[in-house]
Structure 1
Amino acid sequence: MTDPLFILLIGILIVVGGIIGLRLHPFLALLLGAFVVAMVTPTTAIEQYVLSRGGTAAAAQALADKAVGERIAMQFGSTCEKIGILIAMASIIGKCMLESGGAERIVRSTLKVTGITKAPLTFLGSSFFIGIPVFFDTVFYLMIPLAKAMAIRIGKNYLLLVLCVTAGAAMANSLVPPTPGPLFLVSEMQIPIGMMMIGGILVGIVTIIVGYIFAAWANRKWPVPLRDSIEAPLEKIKALSSGKSQSLPPIWLATLPILIPLVFISAKAALNTFANVQTDSSPGILITIVDFLGEKNIALVAGALSALIMLALKNKGDKKALLASVQAALMSGGIIILITAAGGAFGGMLQQTGISERIGILTQDFQMALIPLAFIITAVVRTAQGSATVAMITASGILSGMAISGNLEYHQLYIGLAIACGSKLIPWMNDSGFWIVCKMSNLTEKEALKTFSPLLTIMGISGLIVILLAAKIFPLI
């Protein structure tokens, strides 16, 4: 009854059964799953969870002594801390870009360069390279208004555009530093950061090509219409798409809400990765500005302010219209924050059961080649508890000793890349990213499980195949 695998099964049944079978709202189903998992988790498992992450015995005892509701609230709040401001600001950016015509201006400018037929490939490549310095969720927030405007413009392929954005950003997030997962792999497995960046980009390009093929097939088999929503009413998007170009904002102003967060977040990531700035030194004014504005919450706030200015100029200073737009955006964003935070609480309760350590014990003596073993361990941990970063950290902790000290016939880079690709399997309802994609793109849970989840799984598996071939042909030792 207290085995983490059994508790995991209970949690899966409650959440999936509640949402799909009983038609519960995802927020309620996730919270119910979190409460049940938390109640059946033994105190010893909670204490061991804290100790395994470097916590003190006092901290372990303190967490174990907390009531079930307190532990869930802590994880709920922790997720809100990470994504609350981001989602709220992203909702404002999306709403303002759509209503001001900024998204329509970008779409029209893009179509002039690429043409309609190549628009999805443009979204795919853009999201991958934007996703190298920027978190997956931030990329998705910034690109989804453009996907909606583009879908209205070309009259089809909304699901294809959404999956292209998802495919590019998700693979870059796990494969290429300086995002946290790859950075941890670099340090834990002693992989040169430049080698990880080049290897991650090369594997990532192959995987997103495979992802595009699946996305195009899924778009033909299960076409998803662009649905009406509070933050993006179809009537307004259609009206803007049929309007004259002279009524739209200039391209430099239209791109500011995206460029401001992207440039400053990327600049800060580059500064932290490549520049040796000491904390006791006196950094120049430019470094100080980049360090301040490059913090993701500040960057999104700055982007939202530029979007509000653009909408205010469009409405000629109409305060009532501006207020109505902000309220609609925050209403929609609030629901997404609640669902995503509940997903984080459910995943957090699963982690406290010791599911990661349990899987590590089951696989540590498994006689299998190291590359597929690394992939499988990461995939199982990711599927079990929802976080790709936690899965990467868990797998690298299990395998780093063998990868560094073992007599490998190939560079340990390939172990790191296998762990990164394994972290893509299998996103479902215990993953906050699943809910971000599902709710911001207006996909139903069934649609997301049929398209988004297989997309990442297929890309992860294709990455494993590429890594195995590369390790054989180019061992790099």
Structure 2
Amino acid sequence: MDDFTQTLGAGPLLLIAAAAIALILVLVIRFKVHAFLTLVVVSLLTAFATGLPPGSIVTEVLVASFGSTLGSVALLIGLGAMLGKLIEHSGGAKVLADRLVEAFGEQRAPFALGIASLALGFPIFFDAGLVVMLPIIFAVARRLGGDNVLLYGIPAAAAFSVMHVFVPPHPGPVAATELYGANLGLVLLVGLLIAFPLWLVSGYVWGLRVGRKHVLPVPAVFGETDDDQPADPPSVGTVVAMLLLPLLLIFLNTGLDFLDGLGVVSDEEDWVAVLSAVGSSPVALLISVLVAAVVLGKRRGQNGSAIEKTLDSALGPVCSVILITGAGGMFGGVLRASGIGGALASTLEDIGLPVIVAAYVIAAILRLAQGSATVALVTAAGLVAPAVEAGEFTALQVVCITLATAAGSVFAGHVNDSGFWLVGRLMGMDVKTTLRTWTVQQGLESVAGFVVAGALFLVAGLF
């Protein structure tokens, strides 16, 4: 694949991408073909249509992109589901849900879950944070009756998304900061300041709207109902400690990365490397599952066989989620390998838009074309960075350009984004509902982020 040269122009490549996305929607929505099979078939057809070398399509594109997606997602989902099952099975999720409702009231429960997710989303990545919070979200939904999962799930998921997109030390804003030469501390400060209003508009308000419009039952990922809760559930403090353990470990890792970027520590030192490994998301969740098995299982009188059955029962419901998410990554990998993103970027580079607008538009179109927010952000920042360097921008204006690029990279995630399938399947949504709820939320978050960054850019230019 290294010697592959795409001979098709941007026009034909864009048409192929649009046709592939349309085919996925028709097969899944109209003909009810399973999403996993649909994504694999369309990925293969798209690879042939774009002229990728036939001998490299299966191993170097399909399997490689499928595997690279699962490498980061499967462990998180599997271990997160185990942790959630232990919390749910012990009665801990119901206990914490009751306390949240008691403290904030039934009407403010979605707001409370969103605020908690904003706080937890500072150190933890989007997918890991969502999986850890889901048992609490589901328990609150059941506790308040009606099993309306989106009313509570969308605000929480949006909170993790906002923090992941706009706030260091998450990889997207950090990468853009480095490429633009922005001040990392200033990016962190501005990102934190805009995170709450962005979530309030695109997450909380939108979540209330779609939650009332699309009433869906809580999926049976961590258990069917609360009817068989144990008589001696763990305390709220114990449950909170189990939830905070992976977050603290992950924060250890992201904090070390942040300090390494500032030059305070070096990742070449052995102790830093060891602590970074312990704080990586899969290892942090693994440690948390083992601790939870002891604290929520063995110390509460369960034997090894009972704990093993509890953990095993967590994996079945998430297998479909894992496979579909991997297949979504496969489709995105085909679009990237075919050169669609590069062709679009080259075309847009010559349009002559203002720098901050060009950065946003390029990132947004790349996001729509190939699915990966990270690829969209890094590619757009790499293209726009020379113009930023040549321009006479203030430090705050460079920060605004950085955040505008990050906003573009999250625009309207759809069927070529593995996160689209992750959120949709974990919350029990079909493709049509996921497009109407999560895709629109991502679009609102992106546009609102760009509007705020653009307004700050104009204000910063006055001083």
1:90 to 80, 83, 99: 80
Indicate the residue corresponding to 1:351 in structure 2.
Answer: 336
* 2:190 maps to 1:199: yes
Indicate the residue corresponding to 1:388 in structure 2.
Answer: 373
> 1:1-400 to 2 correspondence within 5 Å?
2=8, 3-43=12-52, 66-156=56-146, 157-211=148-202, 212-227=204-219, 229=220, 231-234=222-225, 237-240=226-229, 247-275=232-260, 276-279=264-267, 281=269, 283=271, 290-313=275-298, 316-400=301-385
Separation in structure 1 between the aligned mates of residue 450 and residue 41 of structure 2, nearest angstrom:
36
Separation in structure 1 between the aligned mates of residue 287 and residue 259 of structure 2, nearest angstrom:
25
The answer as to whether partners of 1:256 and 1:306 remain within 8 angstroms in 2 is no
Separation in structure 2 between the aligned mates of residue 76 and residue 433 of structure 1, nearest angstrom:
14
More deviation, 320-329/348-357: 320-329
SS in 2 for 1:473: helix
More deviation, 124-133/83-92: 124-133
Indicate the residue corresponding to 2:3 in structure 1.
Answer: none
Q: CA deviation at 1:160?
A: 1.8
The answer as to whether partners of 1:404 and 1:412 remain within 8 angstroms in 2 is no
Q: Which runs of 5+ in 2 are unaligned?
A: 1-6
Matched letter for residue 292 of structure 2: A
Indicate the residue corresponding to 2:421 in structure 1.
Answer: 435
The answer as to whether partners of 2:221 and 2:318 remain within 8 angstroms in 1 is no
Tell me: CA distance 1:356–1:230, structure 2 relative to 1, closer, same or farther (3 Å): closer
Q: CA deviation at 1:433?
A: 0.6
Cα deviation digits, residues 357-408 of structure 1 (max 9, x gap) = 1111121121322222221111111111111111101110111111121134
The answer as to whether partners of 2:47 and 2:57 remain within 8 angstroms in 1 is no
SS in 1 for 2:447: helix
Normalising by structure 1, we get a TM-score of 0.88
Separation in structure 1 between the aligned mates of residue 136 and residue 375 of structure 2, nearest angstrom:
31
SS in 2 for 1:306: helix
Indicate the residue corresponding to 1:54 in structure 2.
Answer: none
SS in 1 for 2:397: coil
The answer as to whether partners of 1:94 and 1:145 remain within 8 angstroms in 2 is yes
* 2:391 maps to 1:406: yes
Separation in structure 2 between the aligned mates of residue 374 and residue 280 of structure 1, nearest angstrom:
34
The answer as to whether partners of 2:341 and 2:366 remain within 8 angstroms in 1 is yes
Tell me: CA distance 1:383–1:338, structure 2 relative to 1, closer, same or farther (3 Å): same
The answer as to whether partners of 1:136 and 1:170 remain within 8 angstroms in 2 is yes
Separation in structure 2 between the aligned mates of residue 336 and residue 221 of structure 1, nearest angstrom:
24
Matched letter for residue 215 of structure 2: P
Separation in structure 2 between the aligned mates of residue 433 and residue 378 of structure 1, nearest angstrom:
17
The answer as to whether partners of 2:335 and 2:341 remain within 8 angstroms in 1 is no
Matched letter for residue 40 of structure 2: L
The answer as to whether partners of 1:41 and 1:352 remain within 8 angstroms in 2 is no
Separation in structure 2 between the aligned mates of residue 112 and residue 222 of structure 1, nearest angstrom:
26
Indicate the residue corresponding to 1:51 in structure 2.
Answer: none
Indicate the residue corresponding to 2:446 in structure 1.
Answer: 460
Tell me: CA distance 1:362–1:280, structure 2 relative to 1, closer, same or farther (3 Å): closer
* 2:458 maps to 1:472: yes
The answer as to whether partners of 1:375 and 1:419 remain within 8 angstroms in 2 is yes
Q: CA deviation at 1:70?
A: 4.5
SS in 2 for 1:204: helix
- Give RMSD over aligned pairs: 2.2
Q: CA deviation at 1:430?
A: 1.0
More deviation, 268-277/458-467: 268-277
Q: CA deviation at 1:333?
A: 2.4
More deviation, 289-298/390-399: 289-298
Tell me: CA distance 1:465–1:432, structure 2 relative to 1, closer, same or farther (3 Å): same
SS in 2 for 1:66: helix
The answer as to whether partners of 1:206 and 1:463 remain within 8 angstroms in 2 is no
* 2:434 maps to 1:448: yes
Q: CA deviation at 1:319?
A: 4.2
Separation in structure 2 between the aligned mates of residue 144 and residue 425 of structure 1, nearest angstrom:
24
Matched letter for residue 224 of structure 1: L
More deviation, 1-10/390-399: 1-10
More deviation, 120-129/87-96: 120-129
The answer as to whether partners of 1:411 and 1:476 remain within 8 angstroms in 2 is no
Q: CA deviation at 1:162?
A: 0.7
The answer as to whether partners of 2:126 and 2:160 remain within 8 angstroms in 1 is yes
Separation in structure 2 between the aligned mates of residue 414 and residue 230 of structure 1, nearest angstrom:
40
Tell me: CA distance 1:459–1:280, structure 2 relative to 1, closer, same or farther (3 Å): closer
Q: CA deviation at 1:137?
A: 0.1
Tell me: CA distance 1:309–1:444, structure 2 relative to 1, closer, same or farther (3 Å): farther
Matched letter for residue 19 of structure 1: V
More deviation, 181-190/441-450: 441-450
Aligned length: 448
Runs ≥4 in structure 1, deviation > 4 angstroms? 279-282
Separation in structure 1 between the aligned mates of residue 304 and residue 270 of structure 2, nearest angstrom:
43
Q: CA deviation at 1:167?
A: 0.9
Separation in structure 2 between the aligned mates of residue 359 and residue 230 of structure 1, nearest angstrom:
39
The answer as to whether partners of 2:177 and 2:184 remain within 8 angstroms in 1 is yes
Task: State the percentage of identical aligned residues.
Answer: 27
Tell me: CA distance 1:96–1:134, structure 2 relative to 1, closer, same or farther (3 Å): same
The answer as to whether partners of 1:104 and 1:149 remain within 8 angstroms in 2 is yes
